[in-house]
């Protein structure tokens, strides 16, 4: 039993956690990854203040499943969240229809765990874990919410007609209180995060700043467009301006943390939800091949920064593979929780690796799956399985751009990795929804509303 004295002692030791998440950003489109065209001075400074993870992966190449894995610390296919919960998909259960697709209510989120540990929790921005009321952030561990339930929206005030057409995109404060932004949304989300930090500076807080930047629609402030190098044109120019705006907003939040004297007691993480889509927002993932929605490195490898003044070495890099699945166990552990009591976690606590205390690898093997497509990374080797052509095999340590397919030269290794991938797939659940054109009429018997919420005390 925890006494009030013990609880006060724990709270005094708990760091604040500021988690900043961008949307659809290209791997190469940051100064700290070598870009000369995209100006990100605040994120560059964050990178210089801590650890840059050079082989960070998401658990899916699209945002919905990627976020479901991140929030639970588990491969999202274990609970059926394999596809994006967007139009064009159908439920595999008569109980799940249309907008009522979301993170199953029995899945415990990082916010649930941190709230139980005494944190004040808040989400600012994109949710995309279900439009229906039962999936709402304030019912999934977040004390406060200011954002939108869907996957994308305008950066400016939407018209009544637009809101009628796309209700999940309406800007919402708390539960059911809708009011459109008065300024550019990236700035408004930063304002709300700053205000939350100011109100909670004397207690441990978890702020999840989930930008919709730089996802479409391509909308930037005019003054930011004027800062973009003249040789960039079209969507690439707008993307650069949107990135400038996001970096400025992040800088304002980081400045507030410093101003309030919270730097030594705040763990800060920045990453992105999936690879950049080169078609829709013209992002660049160089030197990686591939883009959002495929299993080449450009679809699943993301920028990842971690900073904690006095705890993590400045200007350092960590070069072994990690996953955004690792965020939940990392946050819960630094918050004073015991992740060994959480069943089914696939992520690990990154702090021993970030601090140089552990010389092992966080992950020897990582997996990806969407429909019949799949991938496995085992040490330096990566196998990509396709439904319509032979598998491809790459040595990622030697061939980051996945140019030299070695599958025909190493058939035994291909078979070994195929088996590992297949064995993992046997542990997964049936997808809760899939593309309508592929699965019309093939409803699964499992029903999401049969699930019971539970949290490990």
Q: What pLDDT, on the 0 to 100 scale, is given for residue 1?
A: 39
Q: Is the pLDDT of residue 234 over 70?
A: yes
Joined tokens for residue 430:
């049936």
Share of the chain above pLDDT 90, in %: 88
Rounded Cα distance between 401 and 42, Å, is: 28
Q: What pLDDT, on the 0 to 100 scale, is given for residue 434?
A: 79
Q: Please give the domain boundaries of the chain with CATH numbers for all domains.
A: 15-363 (3.40.720.10), 366-426 (3.30.1120.10)
Q: Compute the CA torsion angle 15, 106, 59, 338 (nearest 10 deg).
A: 40
Joined tokens for residue 30:
């940051």
Q: Compute the CA torsion angle 46, 304, 296, 287 (nearest 10 deg).
A: 30
Tell me the helix, strand and coil percentages in the chain, rounded to 5. Answer: 35, 15, 50
> Whose CA is closest to 213, among 248, 243, 233?
243
Average pLDDT over residues 353-379: 97
Q: What pLDDT, on the 0 to 100 scale, is given for residue 294?
A: 97
| Contact criterion met (CB below 8 Å) for 213 and 22 | yes
Rounded Cα distance between 346 and 65, Å, is: 15
Q: What is the pLDDT of residues 76-107, one digit of tens each?
A: 999 999 999 887 666 665 554 556 799 999 99
| Contact criterion met (CB below 8 Å) for 435 and 89 | yes
Q: What is the pLDDT of residues 165-189, one digit of tens each?
A: 999 999 999 999 999 999 999 999 9
How many other CB atoms are found less than 10 A from the CB of residue 387? 8
Q: What is the pLDDT of residues 327-343, one digit of tens each?
A: 999 999 999 999 999 99
Q: Is the pLDDT of residue 390 over 50?
A: yes
> The pTM is what?
0.93
pLDDT band at 133 (very low <50, low <70, confident <90, very high): very high
> Whose CA is closest to 102, among 142, 154, 49, 139?
139
Which of 18-22, 68-72, 442-446 is predicted with the least confidence, judged by mean pLDDT?
442-446
| Contact criterion met (CB below 8 Å) for 221 and 184 | yes
Rounded Cα distance between 388 and 390, Å, is: 7
Q: What pLDDT, on the 0 to 100 scale, is given for residue 100?
A: 76
Q: What pLDDT, on the 0 to 100 scale, is given for residue 91?
A: 64
| Contact criterion met (CB below 8 Å) for 309 and 268 | no
Q: What pLDDT, on the 0 to 100 scale, is given for residue 299?
A: 98
């Amino acid at each position: 039993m925890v006494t009030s004295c013990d609880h006060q002692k724990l709270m005094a030791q708990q760091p604040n956690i500021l988690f900043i998440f961008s949307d659809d950003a290209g791997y190469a489109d940051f100064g700290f990854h070598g870009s000369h065209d995209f100006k990100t001075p605040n994120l560059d400074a964050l990178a210089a203040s801590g650890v840059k993870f050079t082989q960070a992966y998401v658990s899916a190449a699209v945002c919905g499943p990627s976020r479901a894995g991140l929030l639970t610390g588990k491969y999202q296919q274990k609970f059926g969240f394999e596809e994006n919960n967007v139009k064009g998909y159908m439920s595999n259960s008569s109980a799940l229809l249309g907008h009522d697709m979301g993170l199953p209510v029995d899945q415990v989120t990082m916010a649930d765990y941190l709230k139980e540990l005494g944190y004040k929790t808040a989400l600012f921005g994109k949710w995309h874990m279900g439009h229906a009321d039962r999936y709402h952030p304030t019912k999934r561990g977040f004390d406060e919410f200011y954002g939108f339930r869907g996957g994308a929206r305008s950066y400016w005030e939407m018209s009544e007609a637009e809101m009628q057409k796309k209700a999940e995109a309406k800007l919402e404060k708390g539960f059911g209180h809708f009011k459109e932004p008065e300024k550019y949304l990236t700035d408004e989300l930063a304002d709300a995060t700053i205000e939350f930090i100011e109100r909670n500076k004397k207690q441990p807080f978890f702020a999840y700043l989930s930008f919709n930047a730089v996802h479409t629609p391509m909308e930037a402030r005019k003054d930011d467009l004027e800062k973009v190098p003249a040789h960039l044109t079209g969507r690439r120019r707008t993307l650069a301006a949107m990135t400038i705006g996001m970096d400025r907003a992040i800088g304002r939040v980081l400045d507030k943390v410093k101003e309030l004297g919270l730097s030594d007691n705040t763990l800060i993480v920045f990453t992105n939800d999936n690879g950049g889509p080169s078609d829709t927002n013209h992002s660049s993932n160089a030197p990686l091949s591939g883009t959002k929605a495929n299993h080449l490195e450009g679809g699943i490898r993301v920028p990842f920064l971690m900073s904690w003044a006095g705890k993590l070495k400045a200007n350092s890099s960590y070069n072994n593979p990690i996953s955004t699945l690792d965020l939940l166990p990392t946050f819960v552990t630094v918050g004073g929780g015991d992740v060994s009591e959480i069943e089914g976690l696939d992520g690990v606590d990154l702090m021993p690796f970030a601090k140089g205390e552990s010389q092992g690898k966080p992950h020897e093997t990582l997996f990806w799956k969407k429909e019949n497509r799949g991938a496995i990374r085992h040490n330096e080797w990566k196998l990509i399985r396709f439904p319509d052509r032979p598998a491809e095999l790459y040595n990622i340590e030697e061939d980051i751009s996945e140019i030299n397919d070695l599958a025909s030269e190493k058939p035994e290794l291909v078979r070994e990795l195929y088996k590992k991938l297949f064995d993992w797939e046997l542990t997964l659940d049936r997808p809760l929804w899939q593309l309508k054109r592929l699965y019309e009429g093939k409803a699964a018997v499992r029903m999401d509303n049969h699930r019971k919420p539970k949290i490990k005390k």
